[in-house]
Amino acid sequence: MDIRKLQRAIVDGLEDVKAQNIAVFNTEHLTAMFERVIVASGTSNRQTRALASSVRESVKSSGLPILSVEGADNGEWIIVDCGAAVAHIMQPAIRDYYRLEEIWGEKPVKMKLDGEPKVALKPAPASKATTAAKTAKKSTAPKKTTAPRKAAGTKRAAAAKKPARKGASRAR
C-alpha cells in the first residue's frame, strides 16, 4: 500500500467538506501500528460527521480499505482508521483539550493543502505557564487611564455642597 496515496485520499476528503487546521504527522518512529496521523477540525457535530463520511468515500474510491470508524454517533471526535493512517476529526474544543499534536506531532509531513505548498502543521499551543509568562510581560506596559470626571456643575456635586437640613439627623 502506498502511504502517500492514502494520506492524499484522506486529506482530499477533508478538504472537500472544508475541514479546518488539517495536520499530517509521520508516526513511523513512534509506533508500528500506523504510519500517519491526520488531525482536522470541524465546526459542529454535523460537519464532523460529513468530514468522516467524505474521508470514507475518498479512501474507498481510491481502492483503499477502511478498517473502522469510531465516534460517529456523538460527532465530537470521530476516528477513521484506514490501517496505515488514522484520521482524527474533532471539534475545536475537544482538539484543544486533548492536544494530539503534542503527542504525535514530532515529524510533520509536508504536503499541499488548499492548493498551496505548506507544512500541514499549526504550531502546538503554548503551555499555560508559558502563556501566563507572556501575559505578565505584556501587562507591565503602562495602561491608558481616563481622567476623572469633574463633579462641578452636576446635580450630585451641588447636593454635596449644600448644608444638611437642620433637624434631619435627629432621631424622632
Gap between the Cα atoms of 69 and 72, Å rounded: 7
Query: Whose grid coordinates read 475541514?
Result: 19
Closest to 11 in 3D by CA, of 98, 20, 2? 20
Over the stretch 124-164, which tens digit does the pLDDT of each residue have? 444 444 444 444 444 444 444 454 444 455 555 555 555 55
Residue 51: the pLDDT is: 97
Single-letter residue type at 78: I
pTM, entire model:
0.65
Pick the more confident residue, 117 or 78.
78
Instruction: Say whether pLDDT at 98 is over 90.
Output: yes
What percentage of the chain exceeds 90 in pLDDT? 54
Read off the pLDDT of each residue in 108-116 and give the average, rounded to a whole number: 67
Strands, E, within 34-159: which ranges?
Answer: 36-41, 68-70, 77-81, 85-90, 110-113, 116-119
Set out the domains of the chain in order of their start, with CATH numbers.
3-119 (3.30.460.10)
